[in-house]
Structure 1
Amino acid sequence: MMWFLTCVAALVAGYFIYGSIVEKIFGINAARQTPALTKQDGVDYVPMSTKKVYLVQLLNIAGVGPIFGPIMGALYGPAAMLWIVLGCVFAGAVHDYFSGMLSIRNGGASVPTLTGRYLGKGAKHFMNIFAIVLLLLVGVVFVSAPAGMITNLINDKTSLTVGMGTMVSIIFIYYIIATIVPVDKIIGRFYPLFGALLIFMSVGLISAVAISSDHAILGNFEVSDMFSNMNPNDLPLWPALFITIACGAISGFHATQSPLMARCIENETNGRFVFYGAMIGEGIIALIWCALALSFFGSVDALSDVVANGGPGKVVYDSSFGLLGVFGGVIAFLGVVILPITSGDTAFRSSRLILAEYFNLDQRNMRNRLMMAVPLFIVGGILTQVDFGVIWRYFGFANQTTAVMMLWTASAYLLRYNKFHWITTIPAMFMTTVCITFILNNATLGFGLDMQISTIIGVVTMLGITRTVIKVSKGKGENDLLDEEKPKVIPKNA
């Protein structure tokens, strides 16, 4: 119990202490108008209240990642919670803050445009392709996962029989609608309520464990377990844990989502609460599910058996109904199902906007929106026929690689304007090494090289990238600011 509370306290402290440092280094300007005001179009650029933007941002970034990832990460033992805290405070929340604030400074631009702006045209073209691939994978994952969970719930708890294909079709129809209608009609109107449900569900489940006579939060683990690898399958902690737990610690998918709310935020002073704060909120959710997975089943071995027989979805199902009964279990389970659905539609929405930026198509026109969206849904529908496990593995690697690109983009920005860049460069260096080592060592997705050789290559490559970014970006000039980056002072009588 104490380990869990300490981790939660560390995340909250990280928001107030380290978040303030990050904000100061970035240098917010309350007098600068945001794209929500300068580009208001009633479709994607729509001013919304800070609380509403925060809850939408939390739902946008919190798919099944901060639930499924921490459950799979829990197989390594309570040590997984340490990565959630450190990764969230020093990498993930920093990543989300810069992806949101740089978008605001660049007129609501998407991540490929930001990457091209600060790392060059080659990086922009790479990110245009990579971001679309990632978002399609996310969209497919966030169709298949909730469809399977809803199907199992209906077939198990009611007299009805629903096929997986039917549920996939229903979710896809909703995604199409949510992708093309104005952001404030569905996302801005209903998602804050879903965000509140998500928070209520997470707190309710961990509270149920805390007061349960049959379970205790990490009650069967010793202090020494908090710093050891307990994986029953003898899987190495390095670098797999840092790929497995993505959304709860650091996630490149968030870089594609933050610009959505960068187009709705009303003042730069709200950025730390919306972007850094939403990631801290997701980190707390990840901690809850990691602790739940370990506490409800009592041991890593028992958890491993459940995962082997039904995946992380069965862990969610068993713990929700086991702790809260039928009524509470349905509410909690539906709260988990909402997460991927509310991230899947924004994944496709982000894809539409990235393509629109690339082809320079005005999205105020419904015809233009459909031109960008329909091909994406056709490809997404085809990908739903691929095995979910295969899609999830590629999603994990693509996700973290996107995070690496965003962190280097943030470092290039800070270097260009002679600001303290190590707050993004250090996590960029670490995650670069993780991704390269993982793809070289992994036999299923990559090259199956020896771990030591893979790590050495990863470190050497990381050092080369670090040297190049610093050399090319440092002090590049304060005189080449985009119009959107230049201060736009709001008149006092406005």
Structure 2
Amino acid sequence: MNAVGLIAFAFLVYALGYIFYSRFLSEKVFRLDDRRKTPAHELEDGVDYVPTNKWILLGHHFTSITGAGPIVGPAIAVIWGWVPALLWVVLGAVFIGAVHDLGALVASIRHKGKSIGTILGEYAGERARVLFLLLILALAILVNAVFAYVIALLFIKYPSSVIPAWVIVPLAILFGFSVYRLKINFLVPTVVFLLLLYLSMYVGSLYPVDIGPVSSSLGVGPVMFWIIVLFIYTFFASALPVWLLLQPRDFLNGLQVLVLLVLVYIGALFANPKVAAPSFTLFPEGAPPIFPFLFITIACGALSGFHALVSSGTTSKQLYRESDARTVGYLGFLGESSLAVAVIVACTAGIAMVSSDRFAQLYSSWANINKSAIPAVVEGGANLVSSLGIGTGLSSTLLATLIVLFAATTMDTSVRIQRYILNELGQIYSIKPLKNGWFASLIAVLSSMGLVLAKEGGKGGLLFWPVFGAANQLLAGLALLVTYLYLRRENRPTLYVLVPLILVLIITSLAMFLNLVNNAVKGDYLLAGVSGIILMLEIAIILESVNAIRTEGRRVQA
């Protein structure tokens, strides 16, 4: 099998899924109606609720949901073979992941832009709502702690990415002012600022930034220096109006990723390298069993509960008209899935373009590829892009910057979502300070920093990261549950959500239970305990929901 075959299969399924399945869902299941007023118009406040052009919003949504997930997950998962990884990424995206994102977005806009946790409370009661919000808050803290550490490592490993990663901030602010205050057609600043962003990448490849001397003079290591800088930045970014920084930053980032994806795919089509990975490897050295762990190793790109937080947290508050949900929610997820496919191609075919033994070296064991996933993506992707005549050094800078910017935009959005949740908890329990945006942002940043500092060198988030994959997919199952409850109350077809809901809850509950058992056997009682707590939270939320369904059924019969 050659790279072209993988790409052709993926994009054929994407095209059929978007043209036919997403239209069916939009018209027959969710019944999108542009005559309805979206929360962006109904509650417009110029900070969080901002009516937005669907293409700009697509850029924000795409980069917010993407992060490093569809890069790291598929890069690791191809150790089980390229066939299961590709099938889960492509078919999972069309029939589960994109449905999950679209459903969460629609449920939110039909509930005045409320979060998925708050919506659950309306259907399953206040206890379910609070439990769900606490679960979301815990996962957001974990994401921020780990992504801050990962971005810091990337800045150190790929110093050429530092300049473009920070240049995008003033470019985004200028873009926001140009479009929203000066009322310039967004196409003009788009071209100008995108060119400036790529110029900064070229400058970064010429002048890599070594922060070591500065951090040493301040008495901290390079990793902690970058972590502190990142959290200071996200504190301000999470509380600023969404049109000023978050939205334009994500839009510009989404466009540069689109350009880079095109380069990777054209490079793959031009070089058409042979896939070096085996079709199936059921028992790689040191790896857990392919079932159910493939489905939690690859989250973003096939299905991710974090997306429900973005769809109902920031995106729903900016949707201009209901019909835009199909483009932003469903197509946005397919865009993320196409990135996961590009990673699979880079790691299974691009990686072997220079050396036929390179795949076997990197994927010799589960432990080895877990340490080498990002370098494998950068190396394989750079090989594909360099086949177009672009130097390997610049190609590596482009790939490394892509990963940094994706992780950073996800961190931006995650801290903002933390602020929303803390605001909601402040309203529930009448805690006045938590209702304040800046104070809630400060608590969000400090709680994440507290987890970072729980282990020397900023590795605190890694303490709980082994259970994140299963917890994230359990969150996806619960988000599908909310969509199911909404459709059921509206007397709409539920089968297209119910089937993915059952599959996801069964598979990920099994994975979480196996994590609990494995950690207990190894003597890691901390992770075993966390796994147990998450499982109990899930069971409690499901029981509350089932009880709500029964109560509603009895009321209807009466």
TM norm. shorter chain > 0.5: yes
1:118 deviates by 2.3
Taking the TM superposition and a 5 Å limit, the aligned residue runs for 1:218-257 are 218=275, 220=276, 225=279, 229=282, 231-233=284-286, 235-257=288-310
**Corresponding residue number in structure 2 for 1:92:** 97
| Counterpart AA for 1:242 | F
Q: How does 1:133-212 map to 2 (within 5 A)?
A: 133-154=138-159, 158=208, 160-162=210-212, 163-212=222-271
CA 1:476–1:399 in structure 2 vs 1: closer, same or farther (change >3 Å)? farther
Contact 1:179 1:346 in 2 (8 A): yes
Take 1:408 and 1:40, find their aligned partners in 2: how far apart are those partners? 29
Which AA in structure 1 matches 2:147? F
Change (3 A) 1:471 1:52: same
User: Partner of 1:21 in structure 2?
Assistant: 24
Are 2:465 and 1:392 equivalent residues in the alignment?
yes
| Corresponding residue number in structure 2 for 1:302 | 361
Structure 1 residue 399 displacement after superposition: 0.9
CA distance in 2, matches of 1:18, 1:100: 17
Q: Please state how far the C-alpha of 1:336 moved relative to its aligned partner.
A: 1.6
**Does residue 421 of structure 1 match 2:494?**
yes
Tell me by how many angstroms 1:354 deviates. 1.6
SS of 1:442's partner is helix
- The runs of 5 or more residues in structure 1 that have no matched partner are 450-456, 479-494
Is the alpha carbon distance of 1:367 and 1:254 closer, same or farther for their aligned partners in structure 2, counting shifts above 3 Å? closer
Letter in 2 for 1:120: G
Provide closer, same or farther for how the CA distance between residues 170 and 391 of structure 1 changes in structure 2, counting only shifts above 3 A. Answer: same
Do the aligned partners of 1:440 and 1:446 also contact (CA within 8 Å) in 2?
no
Matches within 5 A, 1:70-469: 70-78=74-82, 79-154=84-159, 158=208, 160-162=210-212, 163-212=222-271, 216=273, 218=275, 220=276, 225=279, 229=282, 231-233=284-286, 235-259=288-312, 260-298=314-352, 301-305=360-364, 308=368, 310-323=371-384, 324=386, 325-360=392-427, 368-385=436-453, 386=455, 387=459, 389-442=462-515, 468=546
What is the one-letter code of the residue matched to 1:111? I
Q: Aligned pair 1:54/2:48, yes or no?
A: no
Between the aligned partners of 2:360 and 2:12, the Cα distance in structure 1 is: 28
- Distance, in Å, in 2 between the alignment partners of 1:90 and 1:476 is 32
Judged with a 3 Å threshold, the aligned counterparts in structure 2 of structure 1 residues 95 and 155 are, in CA distance, closer, same or farther, namely closer
Q: Secondary structure at the match of 2:303?
A: coil
Cα gap change, 1:149/1:234 in structure 2, threshold over 3 Å: closer, same or farther? Answer: closer
How far has the Cα of 1:199 moved from its partner? 1.4
Report if the CA contact (8 A) 2:61-2:311 is conserved: yes
From 550, 553, 557, the counterpart of 1:472: 550
1:51–1:230 distance in 2 versus 1, CA, 3 Å = farther
**How far apart are residue 445 of structure 1 and its match?**
6.5
Q: Give the Å deviation of 1:389.
A: 4.2
Provide Cα deviations, 1:230-273, integer angstroms capped at 9, x if missing partner. Answer: 63445311100001000111111011101211111111011110
Conserved in 2, the CA contact under 8 Å of 1:417 and 1:477? no
Q: Which secondary structure does the structure 2 equivalent of 1:239 belong to?
A: helix
Inter-CA distance 53–313: structure 2 relative to 1 (3 Å threshold): same
Q: Which letter does structure 1 place at the counterpart of 2:407?
A: P
What residue is the counterpart of 1:10 in the other structure? 13
Using the alignment, how far apart are the partners of 2:259 and 2:269 within structure 1? 15
TM-score by length of 1: 0.85
| Aligned residue type for 1:246 | A
Following superposition, the deviation at residue 58 of structure 1 comes to 0.1
Aligned-pair CA distance for 1:98: 1.1
Deviation at 1:16, TM superposition (A): 1.5
Farther-moved stretch of structure 1 (55-64 vs 371-380) = 371-380
Preserved CA contact (<8 Å) 2:419 2:441: yes
Structure 1 residues 413 and 217, CA gap change in structure 2 (3 angstroms): farther
Question: Aligned-pair distance for 1:394?
Answer: 2.5
Q: Distance in 2 between matches of 1:111 and 1:231?
A: 38
Separation of aligned partners in 2, 1:3 and 1:150: 32
Instruction: Pick closer, same or farther for the CA change 1:11–1:302 going to 2, 3 Å.
Output: farther
Root-mean-square deviation (CA, aligned residues, Å) is 3.1
Question: Aligned letter for 2:126?
Answer: K
C-alpha distance in structure 2 between counterparts of 1:316 and 1:415, whole Å:
42
Change (3 A) 1:128 1:332: same
**CA deviation profile, 1:179-218 (whole Å, cap 9, x unmatched):** 0100000012222111011111222223323333xx7152
- Pairwise CA distance, 1:331: 1.9
Opposite residue 337 of structure 2, the aligned amino acid is G
Query: Which letter does structure 2 place at the counterpart of 1:316?
Result: V
Cα 1:393–1:97 shift into 2, 3 Å: same
Secondary structure class of the residue paired with 1:238: helix
Shift of 1:161: 4.7
- Cα deviation for residue 159 of structure 1 reads 7.4
Partner-residue secondary structure (3-state), 1:29: coil
- Give the aligned partner of residue 490 of structure 1: none
Between stretches 67-76 and 305-314, larger displacement belongs to: 305-314
Paired residues in the alignment total: 461
- The one-letter amino acid paired with 1:342 is T
Q: Which moved more, 1:113-122 or 1:100-109?
A: 113-122
1: CA distance, partners of 2:274 / 2:53: 36
Deviation at 1:304, TM superposition (A): 1.6
Q: Which amino acid aligns with 2:20?
A: I
CA separation in 1, counterparts of 2:20 and 2:308? Answer: 23
Q: Is the 8 A contact 2:422 2:434 kept in 1?
A: no
Tell me the alpha carbon deviations over residues 324-378 of structure 1, each in whole angstroms, 9 at most, x when there is no partner.
311222122101210010010100101101221232399xx99911211111111
What letter corresponds to residue 317 of structure 1 in structure 2?
V
